[in-house]
Amino acid sequence: AQSVTQLGSHVSVSEGALVLLRCNYSSSVPPYLFWYVQYPNQGLQLLLKYTTGATLVKGINGFEAEFKKSETSFHLTKPSAHMSDAAEYFCAVSDGNQGGKLIFGQGTELSVKP
Amino acid sequence: NAGVMQNPRHLVRRRGQEARLRCSPMKGHSHVYWYRQLPEEGLKFMVYLQKENIIDESGMPKERFSAEFPKEGPSILRIQQVVRGDSAAYFCASSPGLQDEQYFGPGTRLTVT
């Protein structure tokens, strides 16, 4: 069975500071990994995804994530936080062989202080 | 190209009533997924459908919940005899193919009083 653990339900950073949101996964098969962002009362928007190939993945809004198989991690980073980055972030894993359903982590709420 | 549409956006039902949630996938998308987000929790997979077929319903509660995706029209998630514990945000996602990115709708927020 697959699972995702997001370390830290709440993360607070100052505007301009580094953003680091942690995600560890468990999967018995090569995983597809995703980061989604959810703004209040809205649906989820895909930030970036890893399927195969390059382990450093660049996404929208300046975010990137690195797939580290040895550490079973897929942490999300952004060099400089902006106020508009305040939102809920979800890491998810998929096993394409099982129809593409996504298994989500609990989410991390990011706050950005001025 | 319109995104994934869900209606209603907000739905209030009394205990024991039925709730019907609708999802219109993006044009050209034949794969639909339903997820539920309980308060303070992440999203949980419920069901995966293709046109006229349920492919994976491993996340659906055994009773009171059903889903369909007919040949014509939107996908429907139906909850019979709702209880307070059904209060949640229900999200639909669609994709053009099995391995493709899922696009999420804005969700339906169900409140059971």
- The predicted model gives A49-54 an average pLDDT of 88
Among A12-16, B6-10, B94-98, whose mean pLDDT is lowest?
B94-98
Q: Which of A63-67, A99-103, B51-55 has the lowest mean pLDDT?
A: A99-103
| B25-42 pLDDT per residue, tens | 999 899 999 999 988 778
Please give the pLDDT value at position A29. Answer: 81
Neighbours of B81 (CB within 10 A): 13
**Residues of B engaging A, defined by a Cβ cutoff of 8 Å:** 4, 31, 33, 35, 41-45, 48, 55-56, 59, 91, 93, 95, 98-107, 109
User: Residue B83 and residue B30: Cα distance in Å, rounded?
Assistant: 31
Q: Which of A29-43, B15-29, B98-112 is modeled with the greatest confidence?
A: B15-29
Q: Enumerate the residues of chain A whose CB falls inside 8 A of the CB of residue B93.
A: 44, 102
The mean pLDDT of A24-32, rounded to a whole number, is 88
Q: Give yes or no for residue B63 having a pLDDT over 80.
A: yes
Burial of residue B57 (CB within 10 Å: 0-12, 13-18, 19+) is: middle
**Contact A97/A88 with Cβ under 8 angstroms?**
no
Contact B105, B3 (CB under 8 A): yes
Mean pLDDT on B56-65:
94
Place B1 in a pLDDT band, splitting at 50, 70 and 90. low
> How many residues appear in chain A?
114
Residue pairs between chains A and B whose CB atoms are closer than 8 Å: 61
CB contact under 8 A, A99 and B48: yes
pLDDT for the residue A19:
98
Q: CA-CA-CA-CA torsion for B92, B60, A5, A27, nearest 10 degrees?
A: -100
Smallest Cβ–Cβ distance between B105 and the set A43, A46, A99 belongs to: A43
Q: Is the pLDDT of residue B51 over 70?
A: yes
Nearest CA in chain B to A45: B104
